[in-house]
Chain A
Amino acid sequence: MSIINKKGNKNQNLAMVIVGDRCIGCDACYAACKTDWDVLPVKEAYRTKVWDIEGEDNFGNPTIRFLPVLCNHCDNPPCVDVCPTGASFKRDEDGIVLVNSDMCIGCKACMVACPYDARYYDETKASVDKCTFCLPRLNNGLEPACVVTCVGESRNFGDLNDPDSNVAKMMKNATSITRLKEDKGTLPNVYYITINY
């Protein structure tokens, strides 16, 4: 699949592969994430959420779709580019985009730069914060909290550089692959696919 970002110089190419039509909009991911990472107990602070998208079909009948969103851990991350201190950075070894709260000065330039609205400001830490792909869990052999809890098994996570990984196989078998706001040139690592089982 040519759409997959080329990662010749990364050990790992970590990605979230979301089977769009398996999302039932239950928000389990939102709750699992917020509890695991003590995300501020306000609506505005979240690392992942699910958009309810109401629309109409060609016959004027109403439709409902669900779109899970999170940080895309872009290979061309505007948030990292605008960060004046280097607090926002992208890990070389696996592509995860992080914020080092010790270095963040709270200017929020990254929040403006992010086309995905994936960041929030945490007053208690005096730092911008965001999805880490659950790096602390990954580093201890656990999958991301949102993936573990996903009721519809819409969310899948792994290393696209490993042809034996579940996500690599899913991408190979996908019947369609899209990413959000491709036109921004961000090269996201969150993929939305359809697949025939």
Chain B
Amino acid sequence: MSRHNLTRRGFLKLAGATGVAASAGITGIPSPLKAAQSNDAKSEMFLHYDRGVQSPSFCEMCFWNCGLNVYTRNGRIHKLEGNPLNPNSNGHLCAKGNSGIDSTYDADRIQHPLIRVGKRGEGKFKKVSWEEASQYVFDKLSPLMKKYGPETLATFMHGTGEPYVHALTKALGSPNIVVPAYSQCLGSREMAWILTFGTGVSGHETYDMANTRHMILFGRNMAGALQVREAEDFAEGLARGAKLTYVDPRLSESCVNATDWLQINPGTDLALALGFIHVIIRDNLVNMDFVSKYCYGFDQLSAHVAQYTPDWASNKCGIDAKTIERIAWDFAKYAPHVVAVPPRRMTRYGNDTQTVRAIAILNALMGNWGVPGGLWVRSGVPIDLPEYEEPKQPTTRRADGAGKGEKYPLAPQNLGRTNGMIEATLTQKPYPIKAWMLYGTNPLFHSSAGTNDIYKAIENLDLLIAIDTQFSDTVMYADVVFPESTYLERDDAPFVQKDKIPFIALREAAIKPIYDTKGCFDICKGIAEKFKIAHWFEHSPTQQIADLYKALSPEQAKKLKDDGVLRFEAVDPYPLASGATPTFRTATGKVQLYVPNLTDFYQEHGDDFAPMPIYKDPIMADSKDTFRLLFGKSPRHTHARTQNNWLLLELQDDNPIWIHPKDAKRLGFSDGQMVYMVNPKTGVKAEHAEKIKVTKRIKEGAVFIHHGFGHTTKAWSRGYEKGIGDNFFVSDDIDPISGAAAFNNGFVTLVKA
């Protein structure tokens, strides 16, 4: 039974419209009325199905980019279905993907270019032409760049149009490009993987869950924080009998088939991982064949983890020592067909890079690199793709502390730190940030630094430019708004993915834009023309698709045209299993159990930068009635973007606060009771009350809500103020190595409504 066999379910053999009439009486005695019309006649209205015109695309309800076939009847999109040939989703779509039609037909969308006329945030705009909007940017931004230097512009971006916003910002001369996926999500995880294996996990992760025998998920909610292929692999692996150890203070959707749920104390995952490593080394369960050939620093690691006994770990993380031993033994028993999975949104407790380092080490000790059931190795697309010249990254100092010589020297300059950029805007240090350009991002609802501080930061701006499809909370504060066409209304550059099955996917507009909107390329080009830098915008997405076709063989071109996706053979996702020698792009050329390139920082900054992870206790609540705020993803919504989608709101339009029965009892709360959430540090109280969900699914001392609710944007007629948001209550702590956020050091109190 494999889902990779595309004909698994086969074609249906159906009797068709004129079925053979069978003898009556199956359903009891037919009454005279019932005999009035034959079944055939009554069925007539159910026999027609107009599938409509099919267009190739890939989904943008989240950033996983599942393969999509868009079906249009009489110029209106009526159905989205997965493209079975796209390796990101194998023909499936989640609830979000299925609900994508509303992103286009939602009347709450931004329908034409706008310039603010009321006060900032009031939401009063006037309709302007594209020409006026671009001219406005030129008129306002030019003097700011002249006065403060081009680096006064900071750009936040997330979406398929990123390359154009990237190019525009660089061509304007600012180095301050920020991709929130780094400091709000993947930064610490990627940093740790690069330090250990020499390569990041990347957005499309390399865990071979479908073939694994035992997976340990450290707070990685595969079923709930849903990305389709991962969820498929997760379900497939479990169906084939894989064991699942799920580590989380909360019982999430992923626990549905967990062998063990370890309800860990929040912030102590590193203790548990070190405990596992201790047992594996102590009991000679290391895959020494792999470690001796390919790893660096095993002796140092052995000496280092001697202190982290199961009893010690148990004391820290709250998991019984015998359980730690049992799971470590079972995990090692199936090596190398095992995988220890770090969280995706690893912006939690401020020890995140080191925690993922320990998880990476746990994998390395199993020798699971490049073997089935472990970590597969991705391949690129084996053809020469058209290349386009891009403006160079300006060498001016960044404002957000990312990059060499700065506070966060390892943070990549091409991704930047959202939290750092907001802080720089708030403090106007190290230099004035006077303009923001937002592309598809909503810093008010996505960021640390505390939402109140972001409001203050926005007050320091002389210009706020927004490019978006919808009026997010932050777009409401913009001075000029460029409405983007949705992913169903525009061509986009070919989507190229390095993978186990590397592929190229097409996105062609299924319909013409229904409002006065443009693709991000044309928006950026329009602004660039004003600044006389439009020569960076000569290759439109439509042109890029045409260029790609020219680079393909006739057979490949036909396949891409017919299927909307072109798949390639990987070099070998399992090189170690095939007997090849794996290579690692680390400083030592080996898998680094010990990271020598951290030693300088270690001497300078201490334990946080230790070449092997040193455990530090998490920040704790100062009273037992102050709860750690944990938040996570709902499978029914994407970030803070989809809470105005009518269909997804049907599936979830509230955000109850999960609290343990013992905590609820002590506070005198009952299930369903309305309470206000309060941030004791800032004194901020939630705008509206939310109901309590009393459940053992959350650890005592913590509360849980889903991310993305509580919107303040009145332009969202359905999503406005639905549920409460986490953004007023998360912490602004920072992981010292990656510089990414540490949201889960936020604490709240609850007050009866």
Contact = CB atoms under 8 A, between A and B. Distances in A.
B682 interface: no
A97 to B, nearest CB: 9
B405 interface: no
Contact of B251 (A42, A64, A86, A141): A64
B39 interface: yes
Interface residues of B, number: 82
Given A26-B226, A64-B253, A75 B26 contact: yes
B256 A21 contact: yes
B303 interface: no
Given A9-B23, A64-B253, A197-B240, A25 B223 contact: yes
Interface in A16-52: 19, 21-28, 30-32, 34-36, 41-43
A91 B47 CA distance: 13
A139 B46 contact: yes
Given A86-B36, A139-B14, A148-B91, A42 B232 contact: no
A10 B27 contact: no
Given A12-B14, A41-B647, A148-B91, A135 B43 contact: yes
B603 interface: no
Contacts of A34: 647, 650
Interface in A151-165: 151-154, 156-159, 162, 165
Contact of B241 (A158, A162, A197): A197
**Chain A interface residue bracket vs B:** 35 or more
Interface string A174-196: 00000000000000000000011
A41 B646 contact: yes
B260 to A, nearest CB: 11
B256 A93 contact: no
Contact of B47 (A61, A94, A136): A136
Given A41-B650, A151-B226, A152-B231, A138 B14 contact: yes
Contact of B43 (A27, A28, A91, A141): A91
B180 to A, nearest CB: 24
Nearest to A31: B98
B554 interface: no
B240 A136 contact: no
A66 to B, nearest CB: 6
A64 B42 contact: no
Interface in B25-82: 26-28, 31, 33-37, 39, 42-43, 45-49, 51, 78-82
B635 A64 contact: no
B95 A152 contact: no
B645 to A, nearest CB: 10
Contacts of A151: 92-94, 226, 228, 231-232, 235
A157 B82 CA distance: 18
B45 to A, nearest CB: 7
A90 B82 contact: no
Contacts of A77: 27
B310 to A, nearest CB: 21
Interface in B225-283: 226, 228, 231-232, 234-236, 238-241, 251-257, 261
A25 B19 contact: no
Contacts of A93: 15, 19-22, 39
Given A93-B19, A151-B94, A27 B636 contact: yes
Interface stretch (B3-11, B341-349, B456-464): B3-11
Interface in A100-119: 100-103
Contacts of A19: 239
B256 A26 contact: no
Given A26-B231, A85-B33, A151-B235, 8 more contacts: A28-B94, A43-B650, A92-B26, A98-B46, A139-B17, A142-B12, A153-B232, A157-B12
Interface of B: 1, 3, 8-17, 19-24, 26-28, 31, 33-37, 39, 42-43, 45-49, 51, 78-82, 91-99, 101, 223-224, 226, 228, 231-232, 234-236, 238-241, 251-257, 261, 635-636, 646-648, 650-651, 695-697
